[in-house]
Amino acid sequence: MPDILKQIVAKKKERIILAKQQLSQEDLIAKLAGLPATRGFKEAISKSKQIALIAEIKQASPSGGIIRQNFNLEEIGRFYQEAGVQAVSVLTEEDFFSGNLAYLNQVKNIFTGPILRKDFILEDYQVYESRYYGADGILLIADLLTKDKLVELMQIADSLGLDYLVEVHDERELKKVLSLKVPIIGINNRSLRTLEIDFKITEKLFPLIPREKIVVVESGIKNFQDVLFLKILGASAVLIGTAFMEAVDIKRKVEEVMGW
């Protein structure tokens, strides 16, 4: 199995170079003045006594190819709004997930809750870019970033009013993240290198995380039984994309999976 993550990162680095040629970091930062305040992502997903849903919008994935043939961004945003989801995750990676940065504000015009930018964030530039394009929170992948880089990106996010979900997949990554002041930890059941899903990742890592942390479980969550198991375990939120993107009736699928 090829290391998909390496391919994604190589392509992303090319994209960042091109973006900087079109708009320098200095000019990008200047454009942030006067933007409306961010919506509280952390607050939205950390309500006590219920498990929150971060519903994802993605057209494609490296493992599944095109997931939703009839991809209507605004319609999906409206379905999520009507279903009452707590936050929406938008895949903005272009080459492997068919995403686009412009999707953030398009969804934000329809969905009234916070928007998480899900992408492969490697550099400061992308954090400023996330704020400019309308994100309220960003995904940071522990496997891709050194401890020092994580701290740097988190500090920039804090200065911009962006929340951040820091994602881990194994004990080594979790140890790195727990040594930092990270309020929201994501456990990804999918290996970004092989794309295989293993629900035992959550069972193994969850007990190692201090109770005061907000824990989001990602990947492989398909039905109400999965959500119920995670709720009993003590997870704060679930991030679900494929199950909804494959559904004929998205709103009904959300209600079915979440038990609403």
CATH of the domain at 96: 3.20.20.70
Q: What percent of the chain has pLDDT over 90?
A: 90
The tens digit of pLDDT for each residue in 133-150 reads 999 999 999 999 999 999
Q: Is 105 a catalytic residue?
A: no
Mean of all residue pLDDT scores within the chain:
95
Q: Which of 252, 260, 243 is nearest to 57 (CA)?
A: 243
Domain limits for position 170: 4-258
**List of residues 6+ apart from 183 with CB closer than 8 A:** 42, 163, 213, 214
Q: Please pick, among 46, 189, 191, 219, the residue that the annotation labels catalytic.
A: 219
Total structural domains within the chain: 1
Q: Please pick, among 12, 58, 108, 253, the residue that the annotation labels catalytic.
A: 58
Q: Is 43 a catalytic residue?
A: no
pLDDT at 34 over 80: yes
| pLDDT (0 to 100) of residue 193 | 81
| pLDDT (0 to 100) of residue 1 | 47
The tens digit of pLDDT for each residue in 103-124 reads 999 999 999 999 999 999 999 9
Q: Which pTM value belongs to this model? A: 0.95
Question: Mean pLDDT throughout 204-221?
Answer: 96
| pLDDT (0 to 100) of residue 250 | 96
Q: Is 130 a catalytic residue?
A: no
CB 246 within 8 A of CB 254: no
